[in-house]
Each structure stands twice: as C-alpha cells, then as structure tokens.
Structure 1
Amino acid sequence: MSNTLAHQIDYARSQNGTDVYVLKTPTKDVVTCMMAFEGAGTYASYSAQSVVSVFADLLPSGTTTRKKKEVLDVFESLGAKVTISHSGAHLLVTLASQQVYFLEAFELLLEVLTDFVMTQDEFKASWSRIKTMYQHAKEDTRTQALLALRQAMYLKGHPHWLPSTKKSLQEIEAVTKNEVHTFHKNTFSSIGSLVCVVGDVQPKKIMQSLQTLVETLPVRPPFAVPKLHIERTNMTASKEDVVTIKNKFNVDTFVGIPLGITRDDTDFQALQVGVSILGASSSSRLFATLRTKRNLTYGSYATLDSFSTGYPGYLSALAIFPNDVYERGRPILEETIQTFVEKGVRPKELEEHKEELMGKFNISLSTTVGMCSVLFGVLLNGKPVSYIDEYADNISALSSQRLNNVIKKHVDFSLAKTRAAGAITKEGTPV
C-alpha cells in the first residue's frame, strides 16, 4: 500500500555507513532531526558513565575554528535548538529548526560533533555541574530507591546494575579532560550512527544534501562493548528494604520484577499492553486502586524498563506515599501487582485500554517532534519502519486470553523486590 507510512519514508546508507531516514509531514516550516551514536550506557564501562555525563553537558561545544559562545550564538540566530542526552546504549542528539535554516544548522551541528574542542574552564564548569547533580541525588528519594532496586535485582557485571551515588561521586572526582576527549574520539563514528529527519522537507532533494554532510563523520571501528553478564541476577537480596533519608515528606517505592523477555520476542508488544493496563495512566489498575479508590498515594505507575539495549529488562512499578501511609500502602501496591500477574486482565478492561493506547499513539504522530520520536524509537529498537503501520492492527487483534498467557509466561511475581526511600525507618515507620 503506497499510503502507508513505511512507503513515505526515504532511506539511504551513506558511503561511511551512516543510516539516514527522511519523512515529510504536513507541518509547515519546522524540521526535527534526531541522531544516535553508540557509546553510552551499556557500551561504556561503569567507570565511564561520569565521563559520558560530563561530555553530554559540554555539548554544543566549540570547534577548532569557533569558540563555544560563537557556536551557541549561531544556533540561536538560526532559531535552532540542540538537545543532548544519553540512555540505553546511545548518545542522543536532537536538533529542532526552522525549515529554511535546517541544513545550515545541521552542518554546524556535525561540525561540533566531529571537531569537538573544550577549554579547561568549560571542562571544569561541566564537571562541577555533574558533581552537583550527584550530590543532589544523594537526597533524592526516587533516585535512591531506584539504585537500591537495581542492586537488589542484579549483581555487578549485569548491564542493568547501577553503582551507588557515593561510587559515582568518587568516579566524577577522578574524571579528566583527557578522558572526555578520548570518549569523544571513540564515540563519534559513522559506523552504527543513525539520523532521522522529519518535517517540512522534500525527501528526495534533501537526502543528497544530508548524505554529503554526514560524510564528515569519521569512519572508525565499531565501539568495543565491555563484557557483560546477563545471568548475574541477585537471588539473595531481601524481598524488601528501605533507604532512610531524613526530612522528606514522601516515600518513593519501587517494585521490580526481572524478566527474561527482550524487545525482539513476539510476545513483547502484548506484554507492553498488559503493563500499560497495570500502570500507564490515571485509568490504570495501580492508580485506580491506590489513588482513586483508597487515596493512599500521590501517584502510582508501571512500565517495562531497560529494554533499549537488547538485553532482557524488568517490570517496574512506582508508588509515591506520604510518610505515614507507607506501611499501609506498600502491601496494597504489591498485592495489586501480584493479582495482575496471577489473574491477568479482563476482556472489557483490555478493550478500554486499547482505545486509550490508540488515542495516545495517534496523538504522538500528530506533531513533527512526535513523529520523529516514534520513527527514531522504532529504529533504535531494531524494528522495521513497517512496525509503525502495523501497530494499530496488532493492538486491535490482541485478545485477553493471549495477553493473560503472555503475562503468566513471562512475569514471575516470586522474583519481585521492593525498595523504598524516604523519611521512614527500616520497619516503615516515619522518622
């Protein structure tokens, strides 16, 4: 069918190995570009995570011919916005621009990424910001509950294990300017890089220009992936534990269940639907039970987490309790999840959430940024672009019987771990 989204997307692999995708949308005068480079997250060693954070904070940087202030001034004069982040296995770069200035802004962005230069003062400023972020994280209830959960589910060496904030602070103290330069050199390669351009463009016309520009990305060997051990799950950690942080008014509480499924599994999309019913919105099981019916929590949600790197991830549920409600709320949080796992979902419940999911999906495709995000996410997850066109039919065809079989097959509540952080004791009473 020529009217499918897949048939509207132009694709080309440049001579240096960069994959480029272009999609024209009805929106006028706006273009969004998203780029991914392997080298962050699980592609970096644990000790390098602070280096990644400092590097991302430094961008957009200066170059050998332009100081950082000049680079920022040019982006501003072009009405272009650059955002840098890192998650999963990639360093992610987003460029939003007016259509008339897009290629000029894109060329400057590539210059910044390939000809990265930083002064000692710029390095120290970024280093200081990341250090401050870690220092604040020591008092952040959600961060500390999440770190405790990851360490309760996984052992060091597993791709989802995370170091303590104390360890991260020790790492940031040791980060040097030279390490940041080395990370840049190892990361920005055309091999494995991805570029998505969506908006008011003429795909055939702009593709040639994009391919010429991305040729400036150097060709380097694929990033060396550190040895990881997905078998290192933590089977000895206690079922429940608390991180006490004084002078807090809420308790962030996570329940995590390690899973053996990956995004490539044919059951993954169905499991996504199930977890959406459990906790994706204010109409989900968790929110309805803990907030709407019992007024025990400020909010409660569930998601499938840490699947973007190709490894099996985990089911994550979060509830935010007032300090004096935690003891009553935690068992109900766990019970709601256990009931979901063991009894599944009702047919009517599934049909109602199908409508909600399709509504959210259609809204996400209604803007240039949203469309680019969907396409970019599908490609990063190793799916064909046809996945977007097939999404609605796949969701519509899902039956409650199949969904419940998927939940029972892949989710084992006996593996659940609960970790909370806030102004409560190990026993759960307010400090």
Structure 2
Amino acid sequence: MRKFNTTLSTLLVVPFAISAFTGCSTSKPKSEKAADGYVSKTNGSFTLQPFKEVNLENGLKIIFIRDVTLPRVSMTLLVKTGSVQEPASQAGLNALTAYLLEQGTQSRDANTIADEFGQMGSNLDISPGADVTTIYSDSLTSTADDLLSLISDVAINPAFKDGELVRMRSQVLAGLKKKIDNPSSFTDEKMDEFLFGDHPYGRDVNGTVEGVKSITKQDIIKQYLTFYRPNNSTLAVVGQFGDDFEKKVSDVFGKWTKRSIPVVNVPAAPSIEKLQVRLYVKKGLQQTQIRMSALGIQRVDPDFLALRLGNEILGGGFASRLNQKVRDDLGLTYSIYSNFDIRKDRGSFDISTFSKNESAGKAFDESLKVVSDYLANGADEKEVSAGRNQLVGQFPRAIETADRLAYNLLVLDFYGIPFDYLTTYNKNVSELTVKKVNDAFKRHVDAQKFKAVIYGNESIIPQFQKYNPEVIKVP
C-alpha cells in the first residue's frame, strides 16, 4: 500500500511537455487537428506535444499521447471519486477499496499481480485522495500488451477477497495509529479537522480507526460498483505505440460496464468569524508545530493565478515576506511557508512553520503581523514583477515529459478547465497587475479569520493566553 497526494492542489505551475519554448508570448492560441485525430496546440512561441481524445460508448474518455523519445508506455487511470463520496461513518472506505484493487482479481491473486509487474521491471501505484483516485504504471514498449492486460484487470475485475481485506485493513489501521508519533503530520491532521469540520476534507483520506473497523466487504463492493465506473473515469496513455495499440486499449476498456453515478452532497465547511486558536499539548515535545488556515478557493475560481502569484510574494518562495521576516530577520524558525491547497470544493489557505517551545508564541504573533501588513498595504510593483518572472521562469523547467502533459490534461479535464489553459498560461501571468494581485488577496484572505492549531509542550500555554485558546492534552 502506498499513500500519495492526490488533492491535485500541487498543480500550480502546470508541468507538461512541449516541443519548443522561447519565452512569454501574447499570441492567440491555435489548435491544429491532424488526419489521425491528434491535436497540436500552440501559442506561437511553443507547441504542446500532440494528443488525441477518444470517447468510448461506455463513457470512458481516453487521452493518447505518442512519445518516441523512449521505448516505453505509461497508463494513468483517474477515477473521479475519493473520500468525499464516502459516508462519514465509514471514513476510509474509498482508500480501502482502492488499495484492494491490486490485491487480487478474478484471474490473478495478489502475488501473481506483483510478480507480473516485477517481470516487466515495473510496479503499480494506486493513489486514493479526497477528490480522485489514480492508478498508474508503465513498462517498456515490448511489454505494453502485458501492461494493458494488468491495469485493465485490476481496474475492471477486482476480487475483494476476504483474506486480503483483513490484511489490508490491518495495514491501514496500523498506519492511522502511528500518525500521533509524527508531530508534523499530527498537527496537519488536526488543522484539517478544525478548519473543515464535518466536510470530508477534514479527515485523512485513509479514514479513521473507527470508520475502517466498521467497513465490510459488502460496503467495498458497493463503493466499487457505484463509483469505479468508466463514465466516471479518464484514462491517459503515453508512449511509443501505434494505431493497433490504441485500438487494443479502446477494445479492452470498452468492456467495462457503465452505471449511473449518484451525486453526493456533503456539508459545507464551517464559516470563520474570528481568529480561533486550538492548542494540543504533550509532555516531552522539544519544539512546537504551528499551523494557521483559512478557507480558500475552488480550482475554477477566476482568481486562481492572481492568488498564486500573491502567495509567491507572501510565503511561497525563499524570498517571501514570511521567510524573510520570521526566519531570516528574527530567527524564529528554519522553515515557514504559505500555500493555497486547491481542490474541487473550497480548499484551504495555509501557513505552516515550527519553532522552539520558548519562542512559539512570538513565531505565531509575527506570522500574523506579516499577513496583516501584507493585506493592509499589499505587494508593490517590484514584488509583483519578480513574482511574474518567477512563475514564467519556473514554467520551462516544469514542462519536461509527455507523462506530465498527460497528468495535467487529466487534471484539467477533472476540473472542467479548457486545455487552452496550458497555452495561455504565460500570457495570463504576464497580465497580472499589482492591483489584480492585491485585490484578489483581499477578497479571499482575512487575517482575523484564521483557525490555528499549535502542538507543543505544556510550557507554551501561557504564550497563547491572549487568544483565549482551547487547550487539549495529548496522552
């Protein structure tokens, strides 16, 4: 079992493959479709590697990208379901369902699956998240047919055997119980709980101890049959292949049975009316973890890029204001950063740092001051110009492989964002002004509407008394 980050919020500078890049362009994007159905998108200064979309009768969308640079093929299946679709009383249902996919099919047991991937010199990555679940693997072109057979079997024909369920449940429970031993992970988890409340984003994608214990085999089968459907999925196929392999992929996955996908309504995250501080204290901790979070935005929010640039100035880069003040000038931490965790529903805006127990209160106070000053006075032209250059400068380094193009097309498709986002990225960044950046931050961030979780030794309590904190002792 492997646990991956599939919130998709890491897609800030969109990494993808191109054939050439010459810098920022304001040319109007163009698309050209070849006779074989492959589309080439360009903005004049660079051209995306051609790709093709195929929609099967069962509702599965397949994105093909041919890449001859290496003799390999990769496949990524994105299923549009995650912990958001599971009942709160069965927290961990989707993750357990996902992990069990590779533990046996109708024709292969877990050892056989592992052995066949091993013989190809590959493995299978299954990654359940809050909004989506991904299944990925690759192989040499010479074993592409074997790769197709394995991935399709895992996705379409899981067995969910009793013995594997018992074993996997035990592994998940052990992982959940160990989280308290990692102060940073523990604080992250408690911050999500405090911020999101009953919304599914407030719990670990692997669930809770109580939830995982309650899940039955019938629950898993129902979860799979309900949400792991072709009309709720998108497949990306990348590599060195021809028309014959494209047909094989379509034929094999075309046998997957579609079903009506129910809409799952979830409770909204609670609004924040004032600064709220929650202290978790435990004897023996040598340093204090500090988290501050506010409700953020959905990925489709029109302020997405402006907020990303603004965050680069506040806490996203090494030269950011938070890093310069709290780390460099005051020496209160070795690391501090901020970021927008963007998701399908409203994500979060987070500030994360740590400090010695005796300076925890000051680190928290100074971080709040930096945010307040930033909101009151805004970024200046020099900072915004540097931020634009940073985003554009990172762009070429991120656009390296066809696999990254495929992943980002999957993500954009999931969010319902046109693929032209890729070719207009530099143009849109270049049009971000000081006013646009500052206005966006003021619309979405309020220094007095944060929730904070502090985790340290009991000695930190007096430092936070002025915030009237809720104090929780950790055994």
Would the TM-score normalized by the shorter structure come out above 0.5? yes
Secondary structure of the equivalent of 1:34? strand
Whether 1:308 and 2:347 are equivalent positions in the alignment is no
Whether 1:275 and 2:311 are equivalent positions in the alignment is yes
Indicate the residue corresponding to 1:263 in structure 2.
299
How many angstroms does 1:428 deviate by? 4.5
Amino acid at match of 2:232: G
CA-to-aligned-CA distance 1:122-160 (integer Å, 9 cap, x gap): 22221111111111123332333234333433442x353
Equivalent residues of 2:92, 2:205 under 8 A apart: no
How many angstroms does 1:105 deviate by? 0.5
Indicate the residue corresponding to 1:339 in structure 2.
373
Q: CA separation in 2, counterparts of 1:100 and 1:301? A: 45
Q: CA separation in 2, counterparts of 1:72 and 1:42? A: 29
CA-to-aligned-CA distance 1:64-117 (integer Å, 9 cap, x gap): 211111111111112232111122321111222223323421221111121112
Amino acid at match of 1:162: R
Equivalent residues of 1:85, 1:93 under 8 A apart: yes
- TM-score between both structures, scaled by the size of structure 2: 0.81
Q: CA separation in 1, counterparts of 2:456 and 2:239? A: 45
For 1:364-383, list aligned pairs within 5 A: 364-383=398-417
Equivalent residues of 1:364, 1:371 under 8 A apart: no
Equivalent residues of 1:41, 1:88 under 8 A apart: yes
TM-aligned CA distance change 1:183 to 1:39, over 3 Å: same
**Identity of counterpart residues, as a percentage?**
18
The number of residues matched between the two structures is 422
Equivalent residues of 1:152, 1:234 under 8 A apart: no
Q: CA separation in 1, counterparts of 2:282 and 2:175? A: 17
CA-to-aligned-CA distance 1:288-338 (integer Å, 9 cap, x gap): 322233321131121112x322x2222111112233321221111111222
For 1:77-156, list aligned pairs within 5 A: 77-156=119-198
Whether 1:187 and 2:227 are equivalent positions in the alignment is yes
Q: CA separation in 1, counterparts of 2:310 and 2:409? A: 23
TM-aligned CA distance change 1:304 to 1:66, over 3 Å: same
Indicate the residue corresponding to 1:409 in structure 2.
443
Structure 1's unaligned 5+ residue stretches are none
Amino acid at match of 1:110: S
Equivalent residues of 2:196, 2:202 under 8 A apart: yes
Structure 2's unaligned 5+ residue stretches are 1-29, 33-40, 465-472
Whether 1:230 and 2:268 are equivalent positions in the alignment is yes
Of 380-389 and 177-186, the range deviating more from structure 2: 177-186
- TM-score between both structures, scaled by the size of structure 1: 0.89
TM-aligned CA distance change 1:249 to 1:379, over 3 Å: farther
Amino acid at match of 1:381: Y
The structure 1 residue matched to 2:202, chosen from 161, 167, 188, is 161
Whether 1:240 and 2:295 are equivalent positions in the alignment is no
How many angstroms does 1:16 deviate by? 0.5
CA-to-aligned-CA distance 1:157-180 (integer Å, 9 cap, x gap): x35333899x92122222223322
Q: CA separation in 2, counterparts of 1:244 and 1:163? A: 21
How many angstroms does 1:235 deviate by? 4.3
Equivalent residues of 2:238, 2:406 under 8 A apart: yes
Q: CA separation in 1, counterparts of 2:72 and 2:325? A: 42
Indicate the residue corresponding to 2:353 in structure 1.
319
Amino acid at match of 1:209: K
TM-aligned CA distance change 1:403 to 1:360, over 3 Å: same
Whether 1:17 and 2:92 are equivalent positions in the alignment is no
Amino acid at match of 1:308: R
The structure 1 residue matched to 2:424, chosen from 390, 399, 416, is 390
Q: CA separation in 2, counterparts of 1:78 and 1:171? A: 37
